[in-house]
């Protein structure tokens, strides 16, 4: 923490087209730490963004009005510069509370009125901006990790039902925009209960992990799949037709059946039902209502099979 907040470690960018104002910032920082800051300067929005894109800074002081845009435009472009994101303090001659609140809402850490702050006040603002930015970054990363974990099946590390539910609206919308079809493939492990009974649940878990791995390498990069139940998986195939969907399903089936699992000690097969989804599908539960016919056919014809459901009126072309 000391290395982050201590003035000797801080690299600061000042973006201001007024040399008098830049000199004022230099003097204020020199008062409190003559050798404590590495200071870089830019005179407009574009040169400031360019510096942030190629160099590391702990904080940036940005003039509210710049020759080629204002601080709001700067903050908006900063959001697209992941590698250059730094805490921003806006400097302005405007003593206006609504403007200050707008800057904070747009992502600035603080808002200082030119000519009213001392070196100590500027240092305190920089320190707090750096610390708030650090804490918020840690919270965002932690929340992102929690969200990722909430969408993953802890055993197989593929999407769980909630994760697929999260992806479904985007896939339906994409298919609609492209006038493409969206197919589902329900996968059920054949006689999985007997694997658990014969080898134990620990081996059964390893079988599920290997099946998930084989599904992953057999589908296309743009496809999504999830473990939705004990030994069931669901694949969403976007922008495809029935022939291609069936070929992909057959590739998955062969990948599982062609070679024993768990160091060639356990034989396992899967049954797959392929079905067309309607353009109005809104949930995984609704997706599954279209799967029974295809899965029933696969099971009744001997398992280790791919079966496609007949197209119904509700599953017309998109």
Q: What is the CATH number of domain 161-315?
A: 3.30.70.270
Show which residues are catalytic.
Answer: 231
Domain spans of the chain, in order of start: 2-148, 161-315
pTM of the model: 0.60
Please give the distance of CA 143 from its chain centroid, rounded to a whole number.
11
Is 2-148 a CATH 3.40.50.2300 domain? yes
Query: pLDDT tens digit string along 237-249?
Result: 988 889 999 999 9
Question: Strand 224-227 vs strand 110-113: parallel, antiparallel, or unpaired?
Answer: unpaired
Is the CB of residue 43 less than 8 Å from the CB of residue 16?
A: yes
Coil/strand/helix, residue 235 = strand
pLDDT score for 176: 82
pLDDT by 10s per residue, the chain, length 318: 333 344 456 889 999 999 999 988 888 887 776 666 788 999 998 999 889 888 889 999 999 999 988 888 888 888 776 545 789 999 988 888 888 888 888 889 999 998 888 888 888 898 889 888 888 888 888 887 887 788 999 999 999 999 999 889 888 888 888 888 899 999 999 999 999 999 999 999 999 999 999 999 999 988 999 999 999 999 999 888 899 999 999 999 999 998 888 878 899 999 999 999 988 888 999 999 888 888 888 888 889 999 988 654 343 334
**CA 61/CA 156 separation, integer angstroms:** 47
Is the CB of residue 214 less than 8 Å from the CB of residue 251?
A: no
Describe the strand order of the beta sheet including 88-92 as a list of residue ranges: 37-42, 10-15, 59-63, 88-92, 110-113
């Amino acid at each position: 923490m000391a290395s982050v907040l201590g003035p000797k470690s801080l690299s600061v960018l000042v973006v201001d087209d007024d040399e008098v104002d830049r000199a004022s910032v230099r003097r204020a920082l020199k008062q409190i730490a003559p050798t404590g800051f590495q200071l870089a300067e830019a005179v407009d929005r574009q040169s400031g963004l360019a510096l942030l894109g190629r160099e590391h800074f702990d904080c940036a002081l940005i003039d509210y009005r710049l020759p080629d845009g204002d601080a709001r435009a700067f903050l908006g472009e900063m959001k697209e510069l992941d590698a250059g994101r730094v805490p921003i303090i806006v400097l302005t001659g405007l003593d206006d509370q609504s403007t200050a609140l707008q800057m904070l809402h747009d992502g600035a850490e603080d808002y200082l009125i030119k000519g009213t702050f001392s070196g100590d006040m500027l240092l305190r603002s920089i320190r707090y901006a750096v610390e708030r930015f650090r804490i918020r970054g840690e919270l965002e990363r932690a929340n992102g990790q929690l969200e990722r974990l909430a969408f993953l099946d802890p055993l197989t590390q593929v999407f769980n039902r909630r994760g697929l539910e999260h992806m479904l609206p985007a896939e339906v919308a994409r298919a609609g925009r492209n006038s493409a079809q969206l197919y589902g493939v329900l996968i059920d492990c054949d006689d999985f209960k007997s694997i658990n009974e014969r080898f134990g649940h620990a081996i059964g878990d390893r079988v599920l992990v290997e099946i998930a791995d084989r599904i992953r390498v057999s589908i296309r990069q743009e496809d999504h799949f999830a473990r939705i139940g004990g030994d069931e998986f669901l694949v969403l195939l976007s922008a495809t037709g029935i022939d291609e969907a069936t070929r992909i399903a057959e590739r998955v089936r062969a990948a599982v059946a062609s070679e024993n699992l768990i160091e060639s000690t356990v034989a396992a097969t899967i049954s797959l039902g392929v079905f067309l989804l309607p353009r109005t599908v809104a949930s995984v539960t609704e997706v599954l209502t279209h799967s029974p016919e295809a899965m029933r056919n696969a099971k009744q014809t001997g398992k280790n099979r791919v079966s496609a459901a007949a197209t119904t009126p509700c599953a017309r072309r998109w």
